[in-house]
A and B are shown apart, each in its own frame.
Chain A
């Protein structure tokens, strides 16, 4: 049928448009500098080379930027998990006056565009003497309202009987939190962990504002800066871009379903 054929062509077209740039990224990164300029159209022109990767690690600060991004992402994800889980436990499981208002107060943070806060945050960190430090890159993103939202929904579903059994055994709130809520909330915590890590790793504007010295760049800022410093060395730039993406691609392939579920649940877009 003709309509069927049209649909197939559309599917093929979309798939090609989405796959081709990724292949182009890999292919360019494996070409020598000269081949990039001469063999424009060939996908994998011999001889393939890893010289761009050697050059990226040998002559640029990309190793340092990867280290900075890892520190920033791991530390901020860990702290986000702890503080988000704690307040989510309070909102989901402790009856107290004002818990609804507290929840709304936290969720309202999702409406605040971070982009509208960079001037004030810069001045704040300047006053604290923290400009050009990794600490400054970490702090503003720690409180993650969307994480609280996910965790509150999930914690509400944990059976009260589990909590009461622990209570009868003489457990206090902290023990209940660490030995009942955390183990039972693992899947939601993993979702928040991944979303937080992706956010931190991909954050661009704030690290750009706060890092003045290239030794303090995160990988996103470093890669953006490549274009300024390595203008037309496209194979080197593509190698750097690929290296910058590998941790996230690995994370994505490992936790694909949780990432998709987390996004479908929250409509998180940043």
Chain B
């Protein structure tokens, strides 16, 4: 356009967003970096200690445990949500009779808040009156301490998470499948290829990019896990489901060690940045 005030106008239109963006995203990033070099209990004074917080983190058993629990959650929930999401999109794409209804049902949990998901599944997993144990008992089987057995709790939390978010992956897979041209399938049909052959030789290879996207998004979301364990177990039993974000939260708001909590936040940030960069490199390398 032939405006003479392009730069000025662009600045005016961008300003409101940029002010909020700077105040609540850019500045906190640098403020957090700054804080991570201090020993600062909010009730006492601030003292510069260099990289000591970071060194402490890797000697802190609770931090290592929280990191391991988070990784355990990532390793359980990522493949499960992806496989289930993929199966869902196959159902949505094939069964024309109930495809749309199935899509709605599978996706519905995703729009519910994590506290609703958490309270609902706490009730389902409840030891004495919960439906799962009641069903097991009715079948004459031994009941399970879904949220009270340290060896089981993280699996239960992951199960509830699959129920919550598999529908999200389904949407992405379905969108990817819709982009595969029909004539590819028709050609395969003419060659006499069966359902499984089409699935493994055509659909899955052509969904490579979508799968990478889903994988990365899923890993990132899983590293940020908090609400599930906070609501369902509070990090228990015996700290077996205490994850990174919860430990940061407790360090900051229960123990008021703001510098140390900031340093751990930076580490979380770095982990996620690394995964994002990996995605950028992986997808750029293809083009």
Name A residues whose Cβ lies closer than 8 Å to a Cβ of B.
Answer: 3, 10-11, 14-15, 17-19, 21-22, 24-25, 28, 36-37, 40-41, 82-84, 86-87, 89-91, 93-97, 99, 102, 106, 109, 111-113, 115-124, 139-140, 142-143, 148, 160, 163-164, 167, 173, 177, 198, 201-202, 204-205, 209, 219-221, 223-224, 226-227, 234, 237-238, 240-241, 244-245, 248-249, 251-252, 256, 259-260, 263-264, 267, 269-270
Contacts and interface: CB of A to CB of B under 8 A. Distances in A.
Given A40-B134, A96-B7, A209-B249, A241 B120 contact: yes
Contacts of B118: 224
Nearest to B134: A40
B175 interface: yes
A90 B268 contact: no
9 A-B pairs with least C-beta separation: A264-B175, A90-B13, A202-B113, A120-B28, A87-B17, A143-B21, A116-B265, A116-B269, A224-B115
Contacts of A163: 1
B146 interface: no
Contacts of A95: 1, 6
Contacts, number: 255
A42 to B, nearest CB: 10
A91 B14 CA distance: 8
Contact of A223 (B87, B119, B195, B265): B119
Contacts of B102: 11, 15
B172 A24 contact: no
Given A95-B6, A204-B113, A220-B115, A89 B13 contact: yes
Interface string B1-25: 1110111011101101110110111
A234 to B, nearest CB: 5
Interface of B: 1-3, 5-7, 9-11, 13-14, 16-18, 20-21, 23-25, 27-29, 31-32, 35, 84, 87-88, 91, 95, 102-109, 111-116, 118-124, 126, 129, 131, 134-135, 138, 163, 165, 168, 171-172, 174-175, 195, 213-214, 217-218, 220-221, 223-224, 226-227, 230-231, 245, 248-249, 252-253, 258, 261-262, 265-266, 268-269, 272-273, 276
B267 to A, nearest CB: 9
Nearest to B7: A96
A89 B3 CA distance: 15
Contacts of A123: 31, 35, 258
B163 A90 contact: no
B208 to A, nearest CB: 15
B171 A260 contact: yes
Contact of A82 (B16, B248, B273): B16
Contact of A96 (B6, B119, B272): B6
Nearest to A248: B111
Contact of B24 (A40, A87, A139): A139
A240 B21 CA distance: 34
B231 A224 contact: yes
A78 to B, nearest CB: 13
Contact of B25 (A18, A117, A164): A117
A7 B248 CA distance: 44
A238 B126 CA distance: 13
Contacts of A164: 1
A249 B269 CA distance: 33
Contact of B268 (A97, A99, A115): A115
A120 B35 contact: yes
B25 A37 contact: no
A154 B141 CA distance: 56
A140 B33 CA distance: 18
